[in-house]
Structure 1
Amino acid sequence: MNEVLLRSLTPSVLGILVRRGADFAAAEDAVQDALVEAVRVWPADPPRDPKGWLVTAAWRKFLDATRANAARRRREDLVGEEPASGPAPAVDDTLQLYFLCAHPSLTPASAVALTLRAVGGLTTRQIAQAYLVPEATMAQRISRAKRTVSGVRFDQPGDVATVLRVLYLVFNEGYSGDVDLAAEAIRLARQLAAAIDHPEVAGLLALMLLHHARRAARTAPDGALVPLAEQDRGLWDTRLIAEGVEILQAALARDRLGEFQAQAAIAALHADARTAAETDWVQIVEWYDELVRLTGSPIARLNRAVAVGEADGARAGLAALAALDDSLPRHAAVAAYLHERGGDLAAAAGLYTEAARQATNLPERDHLVRQAARLNARPGR
């Protein structure tokens, strides 16, 4: 059973049903039922036309569900009889589905779940496992999201920026259960890049590839976080780095800079350094200046303070940090790092302890606790 093939066909099959007259919620349910049927049937009897098979099966599931529901019997005139089977049309509705799933009326969590189900072809159980929530909770979330977008016209133009933010949220979730969400986000970003020619789509894909290239070096065998400066760069995936840099360069050449291109440029500069000491922090500060100009993001300003501290010294970094709200996530961790670089180990140890209390995940908290313990164990402490 080729699960990747099944998931790659999901958007186009769903789009065909919607264009035939099915509302989004009913069509999505029918496609999921067809995917389950394919998993059962295909290993023993693989179809010659997988997409056509899925379209036919999903349409039958939709008709069966419609006819079985007395409240929907008035839809019979719309759905009519089952169309003749044959090769499925080549229209690709992937892009419209992305826009639909990233509808502004949805919360980010609902948009992510709906994208993974409708575009990614994941089951509710897989999505629930990935987000570590009960399957019933995820099913309710997806059902509400489908109801929200069911009345939206399928051909309405969408907002590319919203779609990209949803994909970036998926990527940043990492992985758990039997679905690797970082890899899934890259797969979906590749789909989107194939469907739309946009420099920010390319920028996001490049950013994902460059970050993902460092994945094997990010954690020690015991699961402890390994900071970028301490990572074994021999573990970085040079193939992904080369691909990410190539995609980024082509996007930047179009002279339509966006925030994901700027972030990817920063990631590329890290990837280009053979050692941490060779990192071009001056250029990284310049790219953070561009990112702050584009977004005004306080998180970008926070990361810029780290880069300034590396490029111009801890005092300059702390001066940049002083202009920011100390309630920002990771503010205490950045302050701790810069104080340590500046030689104020007592202040750094206290800030690492504070940052550990504020950490939102266990690996990060443990890392910060270890940093505080390391400084507290110094002679004279």
Structure 2
Amino acid sequence: MNESLLRELVPAVIGVLVRRGADFASAEDAVQEALIRALEAWPSDPPRDPKAWLVAAAWRKFLDAVRAESSRRGRELAVEVQPPAGPVPASDDTLRLFFLCANPSLPPAAAVALTLRAVGGLTTRQIADAYLVPEATMAQRISRAKKKIDGQRLDRPGDLGTVLRVLYLVFNEGYSGDVDLAAEAIRLTRQLFVLTDEPEVSGLLALMLLHHARRASRTGPGGRLIPLASQDRSLWDTGLITEGVAVLQAALARDRLGEYQAQAAIAALHADAPSTSDTDWVQIVEWYDELLAITDSPVVRLNRAVAVGEADGAQAGLRALVDLDPTLPRHTAVSAYLHERAGNLTQAAALYAEAARAATTVPERDHLTREAARVRQLL
């Protein structure tokens, strides 16, 4: 049985239950229970219509739960009407479910968890393992999120920008536990790509594909961090790069530029170059300028300074750093790199060591420590 295909049915089944009168939280719980039953029953007795089977099983679970709520008899009578016979309606509520789970009223962590469970079809345990937290903690997070949006109709308009931010947060978690969150984010974004006609959805999908294509080259033995300039480009997935570039080109042709399209354009230029020295850094700086016009983000300015240092020389890159807050994450590491490129080795070594002390992950700390040692040997 293909569990990925099973998970793809989850949002549509939740939508059917909601349209039949179930509230979102109860529908989502019922579908999760139906999924567990499917995983037990389908290997030996696969259904001819998986979606219809899940709808029937989830609806029974929902009615059982309502009947058990003796204090809510009025609602029980309202939903006791038998569902119509025949095939499940073809209408798909997946897009609306994306909007509901990424509700702007939810904290980002709660929106991510709810999206992975209700739209992605992951179990609470899988999500907890992926985020390295106890299952009870994740269950509470999901429960609070469902209570927060309780009573909101599935047909309310949603904020696509919030949905995209939630999916990008999932993608950036990478891989842990038994769930590849980067691959899961790509799968969900592909669904959103099919459901919408928005260039920014295409831009996010292209960005994910282009970043994911370089995944195998980013780390070495023991999780050692490998920077872009040192990566083995023969390990890059050319199929994903080709797909990502095609998706991006179609989006850019719409002439409705957004931040994800601009980021994807930068990623495409990196993916297209046979080496760091052969990269079109001038064009990358131009794309960072486009991105700054959209976001005015300090992080974008920091990344732009690196590109300026490659395109116009290290001193130009250092000048681009002057007006940026030195407490910005990675500011010290970028300054160290540009000072090394400018020949200021003593200062570069000290800055690499300072950046290592401030690193928030072990691979980053170890990488910066090695860089500091390497530069000291050049003195």
Unaligned runs of 5+ in 2: none
Query: Aligned AA for 2:40?
Result: R
Unaligned runs of 5+ in 1: none
Q: What is the CA–CA distance in structure 1 between the aligned matches of 2:358 and 2:92, rounded to whole Å?
A: 45
Structure 1 stretch 83-92 or stretch 349-358: which is displaced more?
83-92
Shift of 1:85: 4.7
The total of aligned residue pairs comes to 379
What's 1:124 paired with? 124
Identity of aligned residues (%): 74
Shift of 1:84: 4.4
What's 1:363 paired with? 363
Q: What is the CA–CA distance in structure 2 between the aligned matches of 1:90 and 1:291, rounded to whole Å?
A: 40
User: Is residue 2:331 matched to residue 1:331?
Assistant: yes
What's 2:280 paired with? 280
Does the 8 Å CA contact 1:59/1:82 hold for their aligned counterparts?
A: no
User: Is residue 2:292 matched to residue 1:292?
Assistant: yes
Q: How does 1:141-152 map to 2 (within 5 A)?
A: 141-152=141-152
* 1:323-355 Cα distance to aligned partner (Å, 9 max, x none): 101111111111111111111111111111111
Q: What is the CA–CA distance in structure 2 between the aligned matches of 1:345 and 1:101, rounded to whole Å?
A: 50
TM-score for both structures, normalised by structure 2: 0.98
Query: Aligned AA for 1:32?
Result: Q
Q: What is the CA–CA distance in structure 1 between the aligned matches of 2:226 and 2:85, rounded to whole Å?
A: 55
What's 1:40 paired with? 40
Shift of 1:304: 0.3
What's 1:8 paired with? 8
In the TM superposition, structure 1's runs of 4+ consecutive aligned residues that sit over 4 Å from their partners are: none
Q: What is the CA–CA distance in structure 1 between the aligned matches of 2:337 and 2:94, rounded to whole Å?
A: 44
Query: Aligned AA for 1:46?
Result: P
What's 2:205 paired with? 205
Does the 8 Å CA contact 1:262/1:288 hold for their aligned counterparts?
A: yes
Shift of 1:72: 2.4
Q: What is the CA–CA distance in structure 2 between the aligned matches of 1:72 and 1:354, rounded to whole Å?
A: 61
Does the 8 Å CA contact 1:56/1:85 hold for their aligned counterparts?
A: no
Shift of 1:321: 0.7
What's 1:165 paired with? 165
Q: What is the CA–CA distance in structure 2 between the aligned matches of 1:15 and 1:359, rounded to whole Å?
A: 44
Does the 8 Å CA contact 1:114/1:142 hold for their aligned counterparts?
A: yes
What's 1:340 paired with? 340
Does the 8 Å CA contact 1:339/1:347 hold for their aligned counterparts?
A: yes
What's 1:25 paired with? 25
User: Is residue 2:68 matched to residue 1:68?
Assistant: yes
Shift of 1:164: 0.4
Shift of 1:76: 1.4
What's 1:87 paired with? 87
Query: Aligned AA for 1:206?
Result: A
Does the 8 Å CA contact 2:20/2:83 hold for their aligned counterparts?
A: no
What's 1:260 paired with? 260
Q: What is the CA–CA distance in structure 2 between the aligned matches of 1:87 and 1:281, rounded to whole Å?
A: 56
Task: Specify the SS of the correspondent of 1:103.
Answer: coil
* 1:195-216 Cα distance to aligned partner (Å, 9 max, x none): 0110000000000000000001
Shift of 1:113: 0.4
Task: Specify the SS of the correspondent of 2:168.
Answer: helix
Please report the RMSD computed on the Cα atoms of aligned residues, expressed in angstroms.
0.9
Task: Specify the SS of the correspondent of 1:326.
Answer: coil
* 1:234-266 Cα distance to aligned partner (Å, 9 max, x none): 000000000000000000000000000000000
Shift of 1:227: 0.6
What's 2:249 paired with? 249
Does the 8 Å CA contact 2:164/2:204 hold for their aligned counterparts?
A: yes
Query: Aligned AA for 1:174?
Result: G
What's 2:107 paired with? 107
User: Is residue 2:267 matched to residue 1:229?
Assistant: no
User: Is residue 2:255 matched to residue 1:220?
Assistant: no
* 1:83-125 Cα distance to aligned partner (Å, 9 max, x none): 2453211111110011001101100000000000000000000
